[in-house]
Amino acid sequence: MTGQTAPAAPQAGVSVDVPAKINPHLGVGDPRADGYHALSTVYQAISLHDTVTAQPRDEPGIAITISGEGAGELPTDEGNLAHKAAKLVALYAGIEPAVKLHLNKRIPVAGGLAGGSADAAGALIACARLWDVEIGDAELHRLAAGLGSDVPFCLKGGTAIGTGRGEELTPVRAKGSWHWVVATTDTQISTPECYKEVDRLREDGIGRYSADIAPIVAAFEGGADADSLARLLVNDMEAAAVSLRPQLASLMHGGLEEGALAAHVSGSGPTVLFLATDVKHAVALARRIRMRGGARSVHLAHGPVSGPAA
């Protein structure tokens, strides 16, 4: 079938909402032979999301437009993970891609919230639907894992344990909903940069692998209150993120002073998550953190939420 143009879709387009992820537990092990770090993490999808829309295009090729976070700054060519995702679906189907992809972004770029991975997951699903391509779960997972370690989780949403380099998932049945204030900063941290800093700090004897996820998994499954969850949050990348962007320390400290139950760097940072008791507390906390300054933007989010393919 290679060389054929993608069949015209009956509908005008397909839109998929894909949530951001957080890692309430992020245990980072030693680098493996392939350069990736072994992970023992718990992912959770939160209510902040990007929308990926795929529409048929008259001429062959993948044309990307972007609005919202990162518009004008992010690549719209092969350098964009969503572009690679669309190409993979076309390759899998044996068709020539002809698609307009629009990314409406609310997830901060390079913020530790898997925004690029979310867009890739959205592009996989939207293109498969637009072109009417049946992709089985195992194959979709394989395509997603080839795009990036966080992409498989972005397809699933909810709460899940991540092992391997983060791509091996075991769902967790979380009972409840937890409220966060998401504070972004005006800096970015690239994921590999943060992993390298973790390695460097470890050479100096700073930090260790928090492999045990059992306590936080039990807390989610048991519907723990926010106070209990606050004591269980772990991020082995936090010291590295703060070392790379020292201004994070004052942002975190400020949120705690304003009454957050915990301050937690999201993934490789620099976004900081503040845990609130409930939605009312989150609204008040967000207002106080905004007034204090120091954050580029402050959002409310809750999790877990369902993923795009759920």
Q: Which residues are catalytic?
A: 21, 150
Q: Which is nearer to ligand C5P, 49 or 165 (CB)?
A: 165
Shortest Cβ 55–ligand C5P spacing (Å): 27
CB-side neighbour CA atoms (13 Å) of 283:
2
Residue list for the binding site for ATP:
108-118
Considering only residues 22, 39, 85, 285, which one is a binding residue for ligand C5P as defined by CB under 6 A? 39
Task: Single out the residue of 119, 51, 50, 125 nearest to residue 80, CA to CA.
Answer: 119
Residues in the chain: 310
Task: Single out the residue of 195, 191, 221 nearest to residue 44, CA to CA.
Answer: 221
Considering only residues 24, 25, 27, 37, which one is a binding residue for ligand C5P as defined by CB under 6 A? 37
Q: Does 166 engage in binding with ligand C5P (CB under 6 A)?
A: yes
Shortest Cβ 77–ligand C5P spacing (Å): 18
Q: Does 195 engage in binding with ligand C5P (CB under 6 A)?
A: yes
Backbone φ and ψ of 249, nearest 5°:
-60, -40
Q: Which is nearer to ligand C5P, 150 or 236 (CB)?
A: 150
Give the C-alpha separation, 209 to 211, whole Å. Answer: 6
Taking the CA atoms of 76, 302, 163 and 136 in sequence, report the sign of the dihedral they define: negative
Q: Which is nearer to ligand C5P, 122 or 294 (CB)?
A: 122
Window of 34-42, 153-161, 229-237, 240-248 that interacts with ligand C5P by CB under 6 A: 34-42
Q: Which is nearer to ligand C5P, 83 or 281 (CB)?
A: 83
282 class by beta-carbon count within 10 Å (0-12 exposed, 13-18 middle, 19+ buried): buried
Q: Does 36 engage in binding with ligand C5P (CB under 6 A)?
A: yes
Token pair recorded at residue 277? 């008791």
Shortest Cβ 147–ligand C5P spacing (Å): 8
Q: x/- string (CB under 6 A) for ligand C5P, residues 123-162?
A: -------------------------xxx------------
**Cα→Cα distances 154→77, 100, 194, 242, Å:** 21, 21, 21, 26
Q: Which is nearer to ligand C5P, 158 or 166 (CB)?
A: 166
Q: Does 191 engage in binding with ligand C5P (CB under 6 A)?
A: yes
Shortest Cβ 268–ligand C5P spacing (Å): 8
Token pair recorded at residue 117? 């991975």
Task: Single out the residue of 189, 167, 46, 152 nearest to residue 107, CA to CA.
Answer: 46
Give the C-alpha separation, 54 to 90, whole Å. Answer: 13
Token pair recorded at residue 258? 């304003």
The footprint of ligand C5P on this chain (CB under 6 A) covers a number of residues equal to 12
Q: Does 308 engage in binding with ligand C5P (CB under 6 A)?
A: no
Amino acid at the residue 118 = A
Shortest Cβ 165–ligand C5P spacing (Å): 3
**Cα→Cα distances 33→30, 163, 203, 241, Å:** 10, 16, 17, 24
Q: Which is nearer to ligand C5P, 19 or 56 (CB)?
A: 19
Residue list for the binding site:
108-118
Window of 51-59, 63-71, 190-198, 254-262 that interacts with ligand C5P by CB under 6 A: 190-198
- Which chain residues interact with ligand C5P by CB under 6 A? 35-37, 39, 148-150, 165-166, 191-192, 195
